[in-house]
Amino acid sequence: MMYKKSIKEIEKIVKEELCLRCGTCVGICPKDAIIVNEDYYPYCPDYEICDDCGLCLKVCPGIEVNFPEIVKQTFGEIDYDYYSNGFFTKPYMGKTTNENILEKASSGGVVTQILDYLLNENIIQGAIVTTSCHDKPWKAKPILARKSDEILESAQSKYSVSPVNSLLKKLNGFDGKVAYVGLPCHIHGLKKAISLKRKLKDKIYIIIGLLCSTNVEEISTKDMLWASKIKEQDVKKIEFRKGDWPGKIGVKLKNGTQKELHHLSHKEGAFVFLTRLYPCNRCLYCIDASSEFADISVGDPWIKDEKGNYKYSGGWSLVIERTNKGKEVLSDIKSKNKLILKQIPENELFESNKTVLYTKKKTNSIRLDRAKKRGKIVPNYYIKLPNFTTKDLLIERFYSLTLMFRKSRFFQRLIIKLLVSNFGLILIYLKRFINRLIKINRQ
């Protein structure tokens, strides 16, 4: 049986480890010829169904994302600074006034509050969000939420791949408008799909983007369960950001027992090492840290004061207003006393996101450029890369060396077993101490 040309190219993208598993090819296919497997990779079970229209390839962000074109599509003719957080109008610290939402949220509950308000006011009739599988709570899955309790269930971060854009096909017969929540890669695919199917734009009321450093494979959580001697079949629920901000990975077992999977907080504990041990391969070429093409971008406020303490701990979200639609929605919800918004200076926005910005704008760009020169197939963003300093190049090489252990299941499990142990706790404290010494010397 002859392979169809477009499907063959999609399979090549998967083979070259450039597939984002965003689900856009699944959501755009008019024949439902593409589905996803257990790991959310797309494939065609029956090539006879495919009519080789080529839409799947045209919307794939894994191999190509035209940044200048999407900037124009989203913001019009503007001065766009690629080496920053993208175009925005105002940055805020935000927090919901709903204690029930705040309790379940990772930080300030802003995304959940926006969705809940829009749904209850009948401004939208649904929301594309990510939740957890009930039978595999470490696994993420996208849903088209139509009720407040479904939106509340999707609150809090899910550190696993989710084919969000596979749900775009549901919008064809959907009566009403939806809010859309996704990572930068999801939004890249969505924007490409909108450029081909204008009706999608009419269906989507607002796009809310999540700040993202690197997504991790779901096996990372399963390995942490293994290292903690917890059987997968005993797990009822996983909360990736449980407790006081910034939270820890908490597990609720079917017998009612609750446990934590790592020491210290999300930012300082074992979780921070997962992005080196279990990163999704295509994330290592991503150059969008803050969902630059959303109407509103939301993330955690990693802003420290002069003493090195987090300035906005205790349940706040970093909120980046980007478009008129974003401004309209935020102002409306704030006026109804559903949302607290405090404008912050631009330097605090940069301070909050500077580490991830450097990794994505510099480190990942160097890696992309180096791979291209070696003859590898890499994504094209249609932007000119800067001149990198010797320091930039050395940092990238060291970063890449720390990624070598991800290729071995033996080392992945060995390191994660160490990190969740008491000895691992000592190492984490040592790392914290060294970082403080470096900071003092710099001052």
What confidence score (pLDDT) does residue 364 get? 95
| 101-144 pLDDT per residue, tens | 998 888 999 999 999 999 999 999 999 999 999 999 999 999 99
Q: What is the mean pLDDT of residues 271-293?
A: 91
Residue 345 has pLDDT above 70, yes or no: yes
Cα–chain-centroid distance for residue 431?
26
15 domain-assigned:
yes
pLDDT surpasses 60 at 442: no
What would you measure as the largest C-alpha separation in the chain, in angstroms?
67
Question: Which pLDDT score is estimated for 267?
Answer: 58
CA-CA distance, 335 to 256, in Å (whole number)? 41
CATH number at residue 42: 3.30.70
- 22 found inside a domain: yes
Domain count, the chain: 1
- Residue 73 domain-assigned (yes or no): no
CA distance 390 to 406: 26
Q: How many residues does the chain have?
A: 443
pLDDT for 269: 55
Q: What is the pLDDT of residues 179-237, one digit of tens each?
A: 999 999 999 999 999 999 988 999 999 999 999 999 999 999 999 999 999 999 999 99
For residue 68, what are the CA distances in angstroms to 22, 83, 135, 205, 277? 21, 13, 42, 23, 33
pLDDT at 385 over 70: yes
Which residue range forms the structural domain that includes residue 44?
5-57
Inside any domain, residue 47: yes
More confident residue, 427 or 374: 374
Please tell me the distance from the alpha carbon of residue 371 to that of residue 282, in angstroms, as a whole number: 12
Q: Evaluate whether residue 24 is within a structural domain.
A: yes
Would you say residue 88 lies in a domain?
no
388 φψ region: left (φ > 0), alpha (ψ -120 to 50), beta (else) = beta
Task: Please state the rounded mean pLDDT for residues 277-299.
Answer: 96
* Dist CA 334 CA 94 (whole Å): 10
In a domain, 29, yes or no: yes
Helix (H) or strand (E) holding 190: helix 184-196
Dump pLDDT digits (tens) for 314-323.
789 999 999 9
Q: What is the pLDDT of residue 266?
A: 55
Residues 6+ apart with CB under 8 A from 391: none
Which phi-psi region, left, alpha or beta, contains residue 382 (left: φ > 0; alpha: ψ -120 to 50)? Answer: left
**Residue 321 pairs with which residues in a beta bridge?**
90, 296
Better pLDDT: 222 or 265: 222
Residue 52 within a domain: yes
